[in-house]
Amino acid sequence: MTDVRARSRYRHFTPITTRWHDNDVYGHVNNVVYYGFFDSAVNRLLIEQGGLDIHAGAVIGLVVSSNCEYYAPVAFPQAIEVGLVVEAIGRSSVRYQLAVFVAGEERAAATGHFVHVFVDARERRSVPVPDELRGVLGRLLEG
């Protein structure tokens, strides 16, 4: 398995601009903001490439697990890139490995994982990962 902090491990990158209010009183991006970076990167991919309709679609992805480990600070006004690789695709779930890179850096400032379970938007019961999403995610599968 490739080093979790190495840029070369990741197959998809989402550019994100840090915002003034992302910084905390210590002068760096607050730890909880990283989860927003992860969520934005994953959902932007699913919406733009996988056809996920978060407002009117029959299926949505719910986060059931996440974590983040921090190695180096990031602060406004730095530009960052969130790297993403799919670690596993199950019947109704997907596990993503993510990393926050200061733009152009080879080592991640933070890494984490994120697990989606796809559910019926009304009933909130698990459903198979939709074929179109499975195709997009399969192209990002590690291995």
Boundaries of domain holding 55: 7-139
Tell me which DSSP letter residue 22 carries. G
Q: Is 67 in contact with 4 (CB distance < 8 Å)? A: no
Q: What CATH number is associated with residue 78? A: 3.10.129.10
pTM of the model: 0.94
| Residues sharing a CB contact under 8 Å with residue 116, sequence separation 6 or more, in sequence order | 42, 61, 62, 63, 64, 93, 94, 96
Residues 45-67 have pLDDT tens digits of 999 999 999 999 999 999 999 99
Residue 99 counted as domain residue: yes
Residues 81-128 have pLDDT tens digits of 999 999 999 999 999 999 999 999 999 999 999 999 999 999 999 999
Residue 1 counted as domain residue: no
